[in-house]
Amino acid sequence: MNLDTPYSELSPEAVIDALENSGHRCDGRVLALNSYENRVYQIGVEGGDPVIAKFYRPARWSDAEILEEHAFSLELAAAEIPVIAPLVGLSATPQAGSTLNSHDGFRFAVFPRRGGRWPELGTVLDREWVGRFLGRIHGVGRARSFKERKTLDSQALGRDARNFVLDQDLMPDYLAVKYEELTDELLMEVEEKAALWGGARLGRILGDCHRGNILWTDLGPHFVDLDDCLMGPAIQDLWMLLAGDMQEMAKDLRDLLRGYEQFLPFDRRELALIEPLRTLRMVHYSAWLARRWHDPAFPKAFPWFAEPRYWEEHFRALQDQLRAMQDPPIEL
């Protein structure tokens, strides 16, 4: 398999063959869902509800890391926390008893289909509800540690990501030196504040808790993707749900924590990590696109990434972020 085009051989027929091989009798319906890091499909099943199959990007995770993600999902589901856990392989299949399947070099997991809508989080009650949801997840997450999954790391998300971007020669020459100088200053601020991680209580967290990974129904929220779960501080799963100016974020965070602390205390010192974590996400996002640029799906989906305008806007956003990093942290 050519890792520059990792999904070139994953045709609809290959997807159906993989699902049939794992014991699911498909009815021929295959719908590609919106996903770039992995490939995700809704697949019709004879005599039953459709299922969701996630084909993991080759060489990204080890089998042990994927199985640890699955075990965390199943542990949360066993505690009656609404996450979508993978299905165990059917009894007569080669993958019987496992949540991780393989076929023709691809590793995949099968999930039940669960619908829902984008969470607006526009009311106090909705924000408190999500806070309770995360408090329950983190309560289970602190019961033990990951052994295979990563720990949130400012070096990997910051310096390593920044250096990779510079090595790819993607941005205009007139920005490269200024970008290096600016990110040096930013990452020094991050590394100084990241020393707080040593005092923060680390646990198993979702890692990528943005609204796109939460679906809402009349029964409340459920989380649909634990692909980026890792060891980290609680605030990592809270800050991405905030929006607006400092006052609006403080209001939203108060509501989230009102629900969260019904299940788990929250260390207020972690509030100082919000802007460092935002900085790391901004730097890492550009590196993520750069690392995936040889996958044909990425230039098609993100054509603006190769344009000077993207890098100019990214540079200005990092300048704004440096000022935010130097301001006092959010207050509740």
Residue type, position 86, single letter:
P
Is residue 104 among the annotated active site residues? no
CA distance 256 to 39: 32
Q: What is the dihedral of CA 88, 14, 58, 46, to 10 degrees?
A: -20
Q: Is 230 helix (H, G, I), strand (E, B) or coil?
A: strand
CA distance 240 to 112: 26
Q: Is 9 helix (H, G, I), strand (E, B) or coil?
A: coil
CA distance 298 to 31: 19
DSSP 234: G
CA distance 152 to 26: 39
Across 209-230, b (16+ Cβ under 10 Å) vs e yields bebebbbbeeeebbbbbbbebb
Is residue 153 among the annotated active site residues? no
Of the residues 208, 227, 255, 295, which is catalytic?
A: 208
Radius of gyration of the chain (CA): 21
DSSP 83: B
Of the residues 104, 218, 225, 267, which is catalytic?
A: 225
Positions marked catalytic: 208, 225
